């Protein structure tokens, strides 16, 4: 399988190169040159398999010969051995035809672990074989950073630097990033919001002398390998509710469009998905875009679902590439227009987006109400991101017999204050994290300034 850039001007790469590169050199995102498909009998055959084996079968067509079959199985087994649930990504019933897909059983209690634990293992194997080191730099709205630090801490061939918006992540999220003691991990608190962090990250990738001198690698949700890892749980959850013989719908709490794009990939691969619903919080650029056809940045309004406080939704570019018939030049043009704040979709592209995706948004009050209502109706205590999904899913339910699966993207204990305020229950951290608030913190504060950030990285790397 070969990978192309969404902007059409970067070298074509294989899976391993695309994974190690992250952002393409033309500023685009890597996508597979074509969508492999699973036949209905191959999908049906996933039923009852271990999650790891299902993951192997779903991801294998994208990997090519980069990993041998046994090697790849070993990578997957090591990745998910750290999860505290045997099913890895179990589903829980919360209503007559409503389900939660629990993606928070990994070490940092958010769905980012599903992809990050896997790519940590893939990087380790690939870099050892190549005899190379890389510097991983990531921007986080809270959960990616801790997941990346957890996946890469202590590995020989990588230094990790995570940019997070100072004061805008929860205490649990910050402490998960600032308390690991391994010397190859660094938490940088940037004076800005998440979009600033993401913009500085992009600047670093576009600073080719810097990029090459430190062997920069990206593990943000733009990294194709992360999207791929997330395709798996759409298959496993749908199959456990009767796919491919029965359609299912998904509602996905969305920020950077990575997780929902993985659902789109599952559909392209042949999974019969009925509705695919984008759920946003009050930072609703994606919902507005589907309604109006205009993608316009507004300021980020901090919310109680901070991992979705995003205005520039990086992975949306992959969806644009699809609905513009894979014309890199058209995507590059839109991204250039976005530089001045907005772009307008062509009528054809908008219609095709609306065929693939439905959308809804959720205010702060509605988020709190959704946490309280779900607790009262089912006894489930969910995090605010999940609650955004639950609320939008309720709006979009047609009342038919198609199951609606909402993605539970984080454990409620990552956001204890918001959850307690909403439903009166204070969710407890699991035992392996119980002493998080006693561990010493280590972080570096830095201005929202490219040169200052690059300087810290140059001084901090070990090679």
Ligand X SMILES: *Cc1c(COP(=O)(O)O)cnc(C)c1O
**Residues catalogued as catalytic:** 112
Cα gap 89→83, rounded to integer Å: 9
Count, residues near ligand X per rule CB under 6 A: 16
Of 385, 125, 90, 330, the C-alpha closest to 233 is 90
Site string for ligand X, 204-243 (x = CB under 6 A): -----------------x----------------------
Those residues with Cβ within 8 angstroms of residue 354's Cβ, 6 or more apart along the chain or in another chain: 290
The smaller minimum CB distance to ligand X, of residues 126 and 149, is found at 149
| Beta carbon of residue 148, minimum distance to ligand X (angstroms, whole number) | 12
C-alpha angle 100-105-107 in degrees, rounded to nearest 5 = 150
The smaller minimum CB distance to ligand X, of residues 66 and 254, is found at 254
**Under the criterion CB under 6 A, does residue 197 sit at the interface with ligand X?**
no
The smaller minimum CB distance to ligand X, of residues 240 and 313, is found at 313
Of 111, 141, 110, the C-alpha closest to 300 is 141
Cα gap 158→216, rounded to integer Å: 10
| Beta carbon of residue 378, minimum distance to ligand X (angstroms, whole number) | 20
For residue 242, CA distances in Å to 3, 48, 155, 236, 442 come to 32, 11, 40, 10, 48
Cα gap 456→208, rounded to integer Å: 17
Residue 327: how many CB atoms within 10 A of its CB? Answer: 14
Segment interacting with ligand X, rule: CB under 6 A, options 41-49, 154-162, 248-256, 374-382 = 248-256
Q: Which residue in the set 120, 258, 328, 416 belongs to the binding site for ligand X (CB under 6 A)? A: 258
Token pair for residue 206?
Answer: 């576009």
Segment interacting with ligand X, rule: CB under 6 A, options 26-34, 63-71, 207-215, 255-263 = 255-263
Q: Which residue in the set 170, 176, 178, 256 belongs to the binding site for ligand X (CB under 6 A)? A: 256
Segment interacting with ligand X, rule: CB under 6 A, options 231-239, 250-258, 373-381, 454-462 = 250-258
| Beta carbon of residue 48, minimum distance to ligand X (angstroms, whole number) | 28
Q: Which residue in the set 232, 410, 422, 453 belongs to the binding site for ligand X (CB under 6 A)? A: 410
**Under the criterion CB under 6 A, does residue 307 sit at the interface with ligand X?**
yes
**Under the criterion CB under 6 A, does residue 320 sit at the interface with ligand X?**
no
**Under the criterion CB under 6 A, does residue 419 sit at the interface with ligand X?**
no
What are the start-end ranges of the H helices in 255-409?
Answer: 258-268, 285-292, 316-323, 328-338, 347-356, 364-378, 384-396
Specify the pairing of strand 444-446 against strand 404-408.
Answer: unpaired
**Residues contributing to the site for ligand X (CB under 6 A):** 110, 112, 143, 221, 253-259, 307-308, 385, 409-410
């Amino acid at each position: 399988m070969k990978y192309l850039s969404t902007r059409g001007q970067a070298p074509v790469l294989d899976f391993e190169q695309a994974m190690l590169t992250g952002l393409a050199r033309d500023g685009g995102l890597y996508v597979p040159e074509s969508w492999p498909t699973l036949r209905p009998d191959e999908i049906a055959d996933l039923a009852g398999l271990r999650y790891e084996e299902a993951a192997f079968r779903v991801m294998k067509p994208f990997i090519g010969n980069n990993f041998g079959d046994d090697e790849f199985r070993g990578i997957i087994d090591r990745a998910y051995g750290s999860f505290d649930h045997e099913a890895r990504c179990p589903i829980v019933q919360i209503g007559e035809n409503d389900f939660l897909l629990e993606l928070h059983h990994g070490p940092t209690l958010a769905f980012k672990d599903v992809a990050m634990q896997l790519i940590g293992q893939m990087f380790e194997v690939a870099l050892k074989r190549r005899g190379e080191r890389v510097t991983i730099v990531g921007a986080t709205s809270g959960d990616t950073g801790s997941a990346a630090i957890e996946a890469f801490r202590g590995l020989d061939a990588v230094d990790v630097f995570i940019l997070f918006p100072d004061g805008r992540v929860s205490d649990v999220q910050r402490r998960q990033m600032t308390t690991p003691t391994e010397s190859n991990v660094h938490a940088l608190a940037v004076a800005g919001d998440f979009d600033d962090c993401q913009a500085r990250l992009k600047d670093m990738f576009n600073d080719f002398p810097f990029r090459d001198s430190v062997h920069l690698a990206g593990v943000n949700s733009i990294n194709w390998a992360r999207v791929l890892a997330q395709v798996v749980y759409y298959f496993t959850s749908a199959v456990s509710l009767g796919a491919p013989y029965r359609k299912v719908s998904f509602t996905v709490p969305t920020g950077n469009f990575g997780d929902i794009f993985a659902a789109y990939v599952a559909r392209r691969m042949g999974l019969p998905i009925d509705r695919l619903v984008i759920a946003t919080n009050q930072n609703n650029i994606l919902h507005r875009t589907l309604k109006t056809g205009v993608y316009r940045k507004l300021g980020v309004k901090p919310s109680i679902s901070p991992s979705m406080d995003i205005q520039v939704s990086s992975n949306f570019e992959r969806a644009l590439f699809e609905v513009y018939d894979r014309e890199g030049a058209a995507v590059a043009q839109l991204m250039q227009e976005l530089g001045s704040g907005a772009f307008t979709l062509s009528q054809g592209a908008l219609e095709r987006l609306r065929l693939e995706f439905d959308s809804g948004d959720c205010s702060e009050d509605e988020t709190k109400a959704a946490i309280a209502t779900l607790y009262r109706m089912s006894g489930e205590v969910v995090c605010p991101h999940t609650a955004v999904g639950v609320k939008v899913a309720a709006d979009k339910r047609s009342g038919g017999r198609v199951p609606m699966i909402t993605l539970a993207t984080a454990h409620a204990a990552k956001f204890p204050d918001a959850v307690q305020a909403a439903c009166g229950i204070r969710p407890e951290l699991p035992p392996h994290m119980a002493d998080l608030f006693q561990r010493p913190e280590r972080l570096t504060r830095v201005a929202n300034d490219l040169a200052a950030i690059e300087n810290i990285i140059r001084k901090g790397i070990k090679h």
